[in-house]
Amino acid sequence: MNETDVATAPEFRTLLGTAWELGGAGREPDEEVAALFEHAADVFHRRGDCSGAVTAFTRAAELSAAATPRARRYGKAALVSGAVVGDLRAAESLLTGAGPAGTGPAAPPEATLADSTMVMFSDGDADAAHRLLLAAVEASDPAAGDPATTEAMLGTLLLICHNSGRAELWETFETYLAKAGHDRYGTWWTRAVLSSNPTRLDAAALDELDADIRALSQNRDIAEILRLGSAAAFVDRLPGCRRALRRVARLAAGAGAAVSVIYADIELAMEAHATGQWAEAWDRGQEAARLADERGQRLLCLEARAVLAAVAADRGDAGPARAYIDEATAWAVPRGAGFLLGSARHAEVRLAVATGDFEAAYRAATRISPAGLLAPYETYALFVHLDLIEAALHTDRPDQAAAHSAAVHASGLARISPRQRMLVTAGRALVADDDEAVSLFEAALEVEGTSPWPFDVARVQLLFGERLRRMREAARARVHLETAIEVFERLGAAPWSARAAGELRATGQVRVRRSFGTNEALTPQELEIALLAAAGLSNKQIGTRLLLSHRTVGAHLYRVFPKLGINSRAALRDALAAR
């Protein structure tokens, strides 16, 4: 029987009715009745009835006969009220009700958890939140304690460490996890590494994550879905979480769990931005920021606005992007909110590259991670490595560009996802000599599984076209530049389409506009090549069969893609079938 069944079963309704009958107004403290209310509140919380949980936890606290259980129950009520419902004022009031027993080293862990979480959400001070929780973590014995409390400790520590983005705080998480036992809580280690330093993961851990994502359709645990979404964001697996996150946003809104709605909308905005659905990204980010702002959740409001800043940067909307970046940076720096700061700097890099200010792009990217190093615990270093390499080359820093490309390649980042494999290979192409660069760019564009990332594919097309033009291979350059322009225009990436159009003009061709996905007929040779590619043959295999070079095959394919309205060979079969 699942938790929802338990909460509606006759025995639960009887228990709850008995609790309210025994614990009515005017009732003297009674530990047995208080325990009934606490049990009911736990079930309410697990099934997603937040207001019912807060009410029952609060009544349990009021009926507690001793200070310590009273503080524990007020702490539980405050944690649900602040960290799930999003009512920080109510949470602070409940913590006050816990009295002296709810503070200090001897406080129940639930009260300390609530206190540290409220500091994180309201003030955004990762160090202060960590100090509050550290004493409780050091005093606890997770291997022998209540598993639910251990899970709550791990979740709160993970949240604080994630928001801090600093190695010294992450080390306390790993120490506590070692005490708890990797055999019992090994999944938490995977979640932590995904949120801090994904290049440490091996193939087995990524396979485990993929299995968890595939099982999301059966998962009804809102907190676990949100944790999975957060972890998936850093290894390009958010698209697999989309339906579950939309379900969370809908169900959490109905249950009054505003913080869960905000988190789901932020993750959905990140996913929509990465996959080229920028209108949805903007709408989701705006809604998350509005909801967080209404509830005084300043940290979450600024995290949502940092996503909006990245969307605005790619669109070329410098005014809103700059405003959001400056707001988040000014708030994050004095509080040690490292993840928020990294998010703002990521948007700053995107804005600088989009507007052609490569000196600013280099400075912003190296504040995230120095050239020649993929900084650990700095998750946004994973998303600016190509920007750093390109900016270094444009600012006459070839040694730094080469060093960073080598460091990224050595880190194993390319094995995390097809998108990263494509981008890492493109970074190597940028610093290679012409002959090797052509082969590397072709290899980058032949990576299978990149179709969900149209902006990134188009950017690699642009970089390849620019390189070919400088090599005086104008005809081949035009193929890639025209494809890039089509995608950038469809996305609304105005500065990028303008840059690609300028490169196209430099090849001696003025672009004739056409809509993406036209009914323009394929030539017989294009059709033959497309059919062979859709059947799974590589460019070299197709070339051997048709007596063409693999480069000529690639050039034909990249003329085929815009005609079919696709971005990569992975989508060829469906596009040809629809045609």
- pLDDT tens track for 224-243: 888 889 889 989 999 999 99
Q: For residue range 532-564, list pLDDT tens digits in order.
A: 888 778 888 887 777 677 767 777 787 787 778
Residue 349 contacts residue 375 (beta carbons within 8 Å): no
pLDDT at 478 over 80: yes
- The rounded mean pLDDT for the chain is 86
Half-sphere exposure of residue 316: CA atoms within 13 angstroms, side-chain side: 13
- How far is the C-alpha of 524 from the C-alpha of 162, rounded, in Å? 54
The pLDDT confidence band at residue 17, using thresholds 50, 70 and 90, is low
- Rounded to 10 deg, the angle between the 109-122 and 67-80 helix axes is 30
Distance, first Cα to last Cα, the chain? 49
pLDDT at 287 over 60: yes
Residue 48 contacts residue 56 (beta carbons within 8 Å): no
The one-letter code for the residue type at 545 is: R
Tokens 């080390």 belong to 171
pLDDT at 443 over 50: yes
Task: State the average pLDDT over residues 339-367.
Answer: 96
Counts for the chain of helices (H) and strands (E), in that order = 31, 0
List the structure tokens of 435: 């002959």
Please report, rounded to a whole number, the percentage of residues in the chain having pLDDT higher than 90.
44
Q: For residue range 28-50, list pLDDT tens digits in order.
A: 788 888 888 888 888 888 777 78
The pLDDT confidence band at residue 579, using thresholds 50, 70 and 90, is low
pLDDT at 15 over 60: no
pLDDT of residue 5: 42
Which CATH class, in words, describes the domain spanning 521-579?
Answer: mainly alpha
Residue 498 contacts residue 462 (beta carbons within 8 Å): no
pLDDT at 453 over 90: yes
The pLDDT confidence band at residue 528, using thresholds 50, 70 and 90, is confident
Q: What is the pTM of this model?
A: 0.82
Instruction: Please tell me which residue, 371 or 162, carries the higher pLDDT value.
Output: 371
List the structure tokens of 479: 């193929």
pLDDT of residue 349: 97
Task: State the average pLDDT over residues 57-79.
Answer: 89
List the structure tokens of 444: 């980058």
List the structure tokens of 85: 């419902």
pLDDT of residue 488: 93
| Residue 511 DSSP code | P
List the structure tokens of 3: 């938790």
DSSP three-state, residue 494: helix
Closest CA to 179 of 139, 138, 142: 142
Give the angle subtended at the CA of 470 by the CAs of 464 and 474, to the nearest 5°.
75
pLDDT at 1 over 50: no
Give the range with max mean pLDDT: 45-49, 79-83, 144-148, 364-368. Answer: 364-368
Tell me how far the alpha carbon of residue 552 is from its chain's centroid: 38
Worst-scoring range by mean pLDDT, 154-158, 236-240, 258-262, 334-338?
154-158
Task: State the average pLDDT over residues 128-152.
Answer: 79
Task: State the average pLDDT over residues 352-361.
Answer: 95
Task: State the average pLDDT over residues 150-173.
Answer: 85
The pLDDT confidence band at residue 395, using thresholds 50, 70 and 90, is very high
pLDDT of residue 21: 57
The one-letter code for the residue type at 182 is: H
- How far is the C-alpha of 416 from the C-alpha of 378, rounded, in Å? 16
Tokens 């994550």 belong to 209
Worst-scoring range by mean pLDDT, 112-126, 355-369, 377-391, 463-477?
112-126
Worst-scoring range by mean pLDDT, 179-183, 230-234, 437-441, 447-451?
179-183
- How far is the C-alpha of 375 from the C-alpha of 557, rounded, in Å? 37
Instruction: Please tell me which residue, 281 or 171, carries the higher pLDDT value.
Output: 281
**H-helix segments, 256-337:** 258-274, 278-294, 298-315, 318-335
Q: For residue range 479-518, list pLDDT tens digits in order.
A: 999 999 999 999 999 999 999 999 999 988 765 444 444 5
Residue 392 contacts residue 366 (beta carbons within 8 Å): no
Tell me how far the alpha carbon of residue 524 is from its chain's centroid: 43
Residue 149 contacts residue 110 (beta carbons within 8 Å): yes
Task: State the average pLDDT over residues 512-529.
Answer: 64
Phi, psi angles (nearest 5°) of residue 466: -60, -40
Contacts for 341-345: CB closer than 8 Å, 24+ residues apart:
341/165, 342/165, 342/368, 342/378, 342/379, 342/380, 342/381, 343/303, 343/306, 343/307, 343/310, 343/380, 344/306, 344/309, 345/380
- How far is the C-alpha of 282 from the C-alpha of 395, rounded, in Å? 32
List the domain boundaries for the chain.
521-579
Neighbours of 97 (CB within 10 A): 17
Worst-scoring range by mean pLDDT, 169-173, 312-316, 426-430?
169-173
Q: For residue range 290-343, list pLDDT tens digits in order.
A: 999 998 889 999 999 999 999 999 999 999 999 999 999 999 999 888 999 999
Buried b / exposed e over 396-420, threshold 16 CB at 10 Å, is ebeebbbbbbebbbebbbbebbbbb
